[in-house]
A and B are shown apart, each in its own frame.
Chain A
């Protein structure tokens, strides 16, 4: 599925309809850790550096796990077209296809929201 569309031309209301079209027309995968969509599985995992394992941030960034899919898409599209300002997110949003953004939205919506863990701190051994 390839869509070429200038999002800057879209009004807010049309963008919502656009989001709805994608969110409810793409396939979803049922198990959060299954191999059904390896492309999105690895891409989503790449977000963990800032947003934690499976989108469960330990703090300082948004928790993506269990996030409403249409909200996720709307935010990413807003980073993409510059209507929401950001430090780095516009770079990531612009690098992804619309299809990937939609698939990521579904992936994160399906992740269980859990309290992320910090690794055990230690004193540096001599």
Chain B
């Protein structure tokens, strides 16, 4: 059969009149209270979509002690001198007012899952279902000398965007030309797999332009670059030749904070600016709630609802989840939406989607303007009961300014979605 566009439109119009089956509006019947702990990418998204998809039927309260949202994505660009931290800092006012979300600025101390009660410093709140989006926590028992806030002024992690990001940028600006920047990457899994390598690019971009005699030593606890390996290897060799000294299988076992000396099993290295990203586990609230059941580190969930495998009526989303999924911001929001949709269904006595599908797009900036992606669709596998990569996923052929523009559009749109 051949058909031209005009015929197609005619057929389409006729067919539409005859057979378009319009379903009647079925408003959500969901009723009850959901408490969301954490106002990061995952928590803020869950709160918004719980309200949206329940048509306001669910009462939603977010517990978040911080008054500002500071984006980790794009925060490495602050280190390269290509963004200001204030470009990445937002208030929650529109999110709260547009969606009628209750907001409690308090710190969670305990969760009583038997009586469904969240206990905070200044009160308590009951829930029908609880969503925990606590992000990550650092395993300072492995590097106790870095636990104090004083030590972190000298050796920042800058792995939660904010004051430490600004501190690390200032240290780089104060470093002499010919100085050595040392970055330590923990063994996977950790938040944002390509993040440390993007950071190396950003610092290299700054040093190449401002301090050409300076060097970067990368101490990677992993056996190799764990994300976008071919791309980062090429960028380091071609754009930042002679600046980056990459050392795999190099786990930091000790740090002399005052002298800025790091020790691995093999060597001691003196840094002028030292950035140790400690090993990570599920955020503190997940530990408090008793849902971090995998190696006492990550949270096992049902991927249809994100409900904990150990504590009923408690859902976990974002970086704390134990999964073969990248711990990215887009992933956190994708999990949040599946979780919110499932909770609305469960609280309306309906079945949640039995085969969720979502996308993840993650950009890394290799300079001020150029970026590259890794992108995948993930699909629920009913036999394995986990999310698996669908066909077609992969990485950029090479970094480009076009993808730099799309990376900026990604940031603007995800901020709009999560925070308004």
> Do A119 and B416 contact each other (CB < 8 Å), given the known contacts A50-B361, A125-B67?
yes
Evaluate contact between A36 and B337: CB separation under 8 angstroms: no
Q: Determine if A17 is an interface residue (Cβ-Cβ < 8 Å).
A: yes
Evaluate contact between B28 and A34: CB separation under 8 angstroms: yes
**Can you name 27 A-B pairs with beta carbons within 8 Å?**
A14-B3, A17-B1, A17-B8, A20-B8, A20-B11, A24-B12, A28-B20, A30-B24, A31-B25, A33-B55, A34-B26, A35-B53, A43-B357, A47-B359, A57-B413, A58-B416, A59-B412, A60-B409, A91-B377, A95-B377, A95-B379, A95-B390, A119-B94, A120-B90, A121-B86, A122-B86, A124-B70
Chain A residues with Cβ under 8 A from B1's Cβ?
A: 14, 17
Q: Determine if B121 is an interface residue (Cβ-Cβ < 8 Å).
A: no
Per-residue A-contact encoding for B386-420, CB less than 8 Å = 1, 0 else: 00001111101000101101101110111111111
Q: Determine if B344 is an interface residue (Cβ-Cβ < 8 Å).
A: yes
Q: Determine if B264 is an interface residue (Cβ-Cβ < 8 Å).
A: no
Chain B residues with Cβ under 8 A from A70's Cβ?
A: 8, 12
Chain B residues with Cβ under 8 A from A3's Cβ?
A: none
Contact of A42 among B8, B28, B341, B400 (CB under 8 A): B341
Q: Determine if A6 is an interface residue (Cβ-Cβ < 8 Å).
A: no
Evaluate contact between B406 and A60: CB separation under 8 angstroms: yes
Q: Determine if B355 is an interface residue (Cβ-Cβ < 8 Å).
A: yes
Contact of B69 among A27, A31, A119, A126 (CB under 8 A): A119
Evaluate contact between B355 and A39: CB separation under 8 angstroms: yes
Per-residue A-contact encoding for B96-115, CB less than 8 Å = 1, 0 else: 00100000000000000000
Contact of A87 among B91, B334, B353, B373 (CB under 8 A): B373
**Chain A min CB distance to B166 (Å):** 7
> Do A39 and B353 contact each other (CB < 8 Å), given the known contacts A28-B22, A45-B49, A119-B420?
yes
Q: Determine if B123 is an interface residue (Cβ-Cβ < 8 Å).
A: no
Q: Determine if A123 is an interface residue (Cβ-Cβ < 8 Å).
A: yes
Q: Determine if A8 is an interface residue (Cβ-Cβ < 8 Å).
A: no
List the 5 shortest-distance A-B pairs measured between CB atoms, nearest first.
Answer: A95-B377, A60-B409, A94-B392, A119-B419, A95-B390
Q: Determine if B120 is an interface residue (Cβ-Cβ < 8 Å).
A: no
Chain B residues with Cβ under 8 A from A48's Cβ?
A: 333, 413-414, 417
Within 82-110 of A, Cβ neighbours of B (below 8 Å) are at 87-88, 90-96, 100
- State the CA gap A27–B403 with chains docked (Å): 36
> Do A87 and B406 contact each other (CB < 8 Å), given the known contacts A16-B5, A120-B91, A124-B163?
yes
Contact of A88 among B4, B11, B85, B373 (CB under 8 A): B373
Q: How many A-B residue pairs have CB under 8 A?
A: 219
Evaluate contact between A42 and B356: CB separation under 8 angstroms: yes
Evaluate contact between B392 and A93: CB separation under 8 angstroms: yes
Evaluate contact between B416 and A116: CB separation under 8 angstroms: yes
Q: Determine if A117 is an interface residue (Cβ-Cβ < 8 Å).
A: yes
**Chain A min CB distance to B229 (Å):** 18
Evaluate contact between B350 and A35: CB separation under 8 angstroms: yes
Chain B residues with Cβ under 8 A from A58's Cβ?
A: 412-413, 416
Chain B residues with Cβ under 8 A from A123's Cβ?
A: 86, 89
Evaluate contact between B53 and A33: CB separation under 8 angstroms: yes
Contact of B12 among A23, A96, A121 (CB under 8 A): A23
Q: Determine if A46 is an interface residue (Cβ-Cβ < 8 Å).
A: yes
Q: Determine if A53 is an interface residue (Cβ-Cβ < 8 Å).
A: yes
Per-residue B-contact encoding for A32-74, CB less than 8 Å = 1, 0 else: 0111101101110111111111000111110000000010000
Chain B residues with Cβ under 8 A from A43's Cβ?
A: 356-359
**Chain A min CB distance to B338 (Å):** 5
Evaluate contact between A60 and B93: CB separation under 8 angstroms: no
Q: Determine if B259 is an interface residue (Cβ-Cβ < 8 Å).
A: no
Q: Determine if B82 is an interface residue (Cβ-Cβ < 8 Å).
A: no
Evaluate contact between A119 and B90: CB separation under 8 angstroms: yes
- State the CA gap A90–B19 with chains docked (Å): 32
Evaluate contact between B23 and A53: CB separation under 8 angstroms: no
**Chain A min CB distance to B370 (Å):** 12
